[in-house]
Structure 1
Amino acid sequence: MNNLQYPIKFSFKITTLSNDFTAKNASGQTIAYVKQKMFKLKEAISVYSDESKSQVLFTIAANKWLDFSAAYSMTDASGNEIGKIARKGWRSMWKAEYDIVDQNNQPQYKVQEANAWVRVADSMIGEIPVLGAFTGYLFNPTYNVTNKAGQIVVKLKKMPSFFGKEFELEKVADIDEDDKERVMLGLMMMILLERRRG
């Protein structure tokens, strides 16, 4: 993925059965198209260069059967593993928490939901007919990405929109060049998992 100019917007397609979305940089240029593979026993997504889906840049797939502590491997087009994102087991039931690890299985970043109550309210009101369509304007969780020193480097925010289909990725501090794609891919997988959880 080139041209990672922040803020980066994730826009979900609400007209498809799967959770497909487009990632665009600050200039409005498409930097990735993410397609979830439907009807798989293991969670898997493909990250394409654009909406034409002609070039696969990365794939992300569960290492284990779906459970509360699944890890998701990120591989490039050559099949090289560049890292993983792992959900923090039962701790993640209440408040979303994930680890982003590098290709050597070394933890690098932590992703944490800023306020779990926002998701709880979003889930509860989202079940009410008619009102559910408007929760995207009322409840908008934020996810903080922190480095090993505990410093926030990136924030992923759900933006006010119908059906909660818009997210924005904002850079707060510098990230190593080598880590940018790994963090981006980890957040792409995480947001698909969190949308499914409600």
Structure 2
Amino acid sequence: MNPLFGYSQYRLKRQILALTGIVRIYNPQGEMLLYSRQRMFRLKKDIRVYRDEEMSQEILQIRARQVLDFSAAYDVVDSLSGHKVGALRRRGWQSLARDEWQILSADDTPIGLIQEDTLGRALLRRFLLGAWLPQHYEATLGTVKVADFRQRFHLFRYEMEIDFSADPNRQLDRRLGLAAAILFAIIKGKQSS
């Protein structure tokens, strides 16, 4: 396994003033591990994750299967091996009130769920408080919690803490978990701009 995915905690920062989604992921010591950029002028979302800002080594690809985001599925591919790691599928109607994503295995079998914290908080976020109430997602495989995605409140930037501490046996592939965090940041950025 790539040592970039060996941490139990990460911090994601999204660049606010950019034409496309630019995301950086850091380890707990503050060292940048991954740099992500959404490719411009594509009908379908095409996000590439690199080892550094020079984009010298591509690590992951996150590719939408369809043009519309409503119930979109995003394939996560390990660029080094060329193998599909799994996929993330947004649950369209359920996500209108409370964001919900299915975690899919490499053969598209549903294995888990990522949900926004509570319906009440999700509705407050959408209709009243917006960015004043940061997002919080929880990932589960079956009934077992495996990850926590917690947005930090900042007026002028988007930051998210990603915590896999609840998953010491690494049931959730970190590549899928980090791809989910990148998607949350880029989709949230698109919705708020």
TM-score (ref. length: structure 1): 0.84
Q: In 1, Cα distance between the equivalents of 2:104 and 2:77?
A: 13
Report if aligned partners of 1:122, 1:139 keep a CA contact under 8 Å in 2.
yes
Q: Please state if 1:2 is matched with 2:3.
A: yes
Larger mean CA deviation between 169-178 and 56-65 belongs to 169-178
Amino acid at match of 1:54: S
Report if aligned partners of 1:118, 1:140 keep a CA contact under 8 Å in 2.
no
Q: In 2, Cα distance between the equivalents of 1:120 and 1:54?
A: 41
Amino acid at match of 1:11: K
The CA deviation string for residues 44-72 of structure 1, in whole angstroms up to 9 with x for no partner, is: 10001122211111111111221421111
Q: Please, which of 147, 154, 160 is the counterpart of residue 153 of structure 2?
A: 160
Identity fraction in percent: 26
Report if aligned partners of 1:152, 1:172 keep a CA contact under 8 Å in 2.
no
Q: In 2, Cα distance between the equivalents of 1:9 and 1:15?
A: 19
Amino acid at match of 1:171: F
Q: Please, which of 104, 109, 122 is the counterpart of residue 106 of structure 1?
A: 109
The CA deviation string for residues 11-38 of structure 1, in whole angstroms up to 9 with x for no partner, is: 1112312221100011212221111122
Q: In 2, Cα distance between the equivalents of 1:39 and 1:121?
A: 33
Q: In 2, Cα distance between the equivalents of 1:177 and 1:30?
A: 24
The structural deviation recorded for 1:117 is: 4.2
Q: In 2, Cα distance between the equivalents of 1:154 and 1:177?
A: 10
**Residue 150 of structure 2 aligns to a residue in which SS?**
strand
Aligned residues: 188
Ranges in structure 2 where 5+ consecutive residues have no aligned partner: none
Q: In 2, Cα distance between the equivalents of 1:188 and 1:102?
A: 18
Report if aligned partners of 1:43, 1:66 keep a CA contact under 8 Å in 2.
no
Q: In 1, Cα distance between the equivalents of 2:96 and 2:59?
A: 31
**Residue 153 of structure 1 aligns to a residue in which SS?**
strand
Q: In 2, Cα distance between the equivalents of 1:17 and 1:26?
A: 28
Q: Quote the RMSD (CA, aligned, Å).
A: 2.2
Q: Please, which of 171, 178, 184 is the counterpart of residue 184 of structure 1?
A: 178
TM-score (ref. length: structure 2): 0.86
Amino acid at match of 2:71: S
Amino acid at match of 1:102: S
**Residue 105 of structure 1 aligns to a residue in which SS?**
coil
Q: In 2, Cα distance between the equivalents of 1:46 and 1:120?
A: 31
**Residue 95 of structure 2 aligns to a residue in which SS?**
helix
Q: Please state if 1:25 is matched with 2:27.
A: yes
**Residue 20 of structure 2 aligns to a residue in which SS?**
coil
**Residue 47 of structure 1 aligns to a residue in which SS?**
strand
Whose relative contact order is higher, 1 or 2, with alpha carbons under 8 Å and at least 6 apart? 2
Q: In 1, Cα distance between the equivalents of 2:119 and 2:46?
A: 26
